[in-house]
Amino acid sequence: MATGSRTVRPRSSVWLSERKAPKRKGDQQPVGLDHLKIVAATMRLLDAEGLSGFSMRRLAAELGVTAMSVYWYVETKDHLLELALDAAMGEIALPMEAVGPVEGHEHSPAEPRDWREQLRQLAAEYRQVMVRHSWLPALLGEYLNIGPNAVVFSNAALAVMRNSGLPDDKITSALSLVYQFVYGFGTIEGRFAARCRAAGLTQDELFHETMSSVADRMEFDESRKIMKARGGNTVEEMRDRDFTFALDLAIAGIEALRDR
């Protein structure tokens, strides 16, 4: 696509690359290293230090090898981040009715059969993986997300929504509602959790400290009443209540429009 005199090309994807390992004179494939180890170490570093603290040099040090050893297995840092993104998507436990047995994917021992319960499971799992890996939301906007785990997740979500009875031309719109809600909720939750870890505070401690500071500087009576009515003794309980009811609202809206 051309914009004025500038040609804009899509970012290359590891899933579309046909690149082979380098065969330069004197190069030898590193012993004891493979894709699984590299991706696992990448995810550990991202969890600990975030995207801003991640580099190929830092990864190589974590693995105890040279940076060139890593490049035997991945062409670029972007490709490596794509692999980490798809590995995180593979942590999502999917409803077995929607996908059947899939090697490498976790499954709950007792799977709900109703599409609403399956959708709640997908949403809850999607939320958890974004909170567990607070770097994940940023990557979802940067890469194609067409790895094998992402494709299995997408197909499962389509199968669940098709069981809702919505016509095919409305399925992606309904999924967008759920995806974007969970993305926003999980992103904020994950960033807050990361901030608490960096500050050496629990989420409850930072929440109450922030609320006390705000209450001292602003007219907060009405908001305080709403927060009290919200219920929950901890930040986690409050978030779970909000998430559950908001998702119920989304499902109710899908049902209402389906039946209209």
151-166 confidence digits (pLDDT tens): 999 999 999 999 999 9
CA distances (Å), origin 187, targets 92, 130, 161, 208: 16, 7, 23, 21
Same fold, 33-88 and 113-254: no
Supply the pLDDT for residue 32.
77
Q: Which residue has the higher pLDDT, 69 or 5?
A: 69
Per residue in 52-66, pLDDT (tens digit) is 999 999 999 999 999
Per residue in 219-234, pLDDT (tens digit) is 666 666 666 666 668 9
Supply the pLDDT for residue 212.
77
Q: Residue 60: which of 69, 73, 52 has the closest Cα?
A: 69
| pLDDT surpassing 90 at residue 89 | yes
CATH node for 113-254: 1.10.357.10
Tokens standing for residue 96:
């077995």
Residue 89 CA to residue 32 CA, distance in Å, equals 26
- The topology under which CATH files domain 33-88 is Arc Repressor Mutant, subunit A (1.10.10)
With 0-12 CB in 10 A as exposed, 13-18 as middle and 19+ as buried, what is 23? exposed
Give the start-to-end residue ranges of the domains of the chain.
Answer: 33-88, 113-254
The pTM (predicted TM-score) of the whole model is 0.83
Contact yes or no for 158/175 (Cβ under 8 A): yes
Supply the pLDDT for residue 132.
96
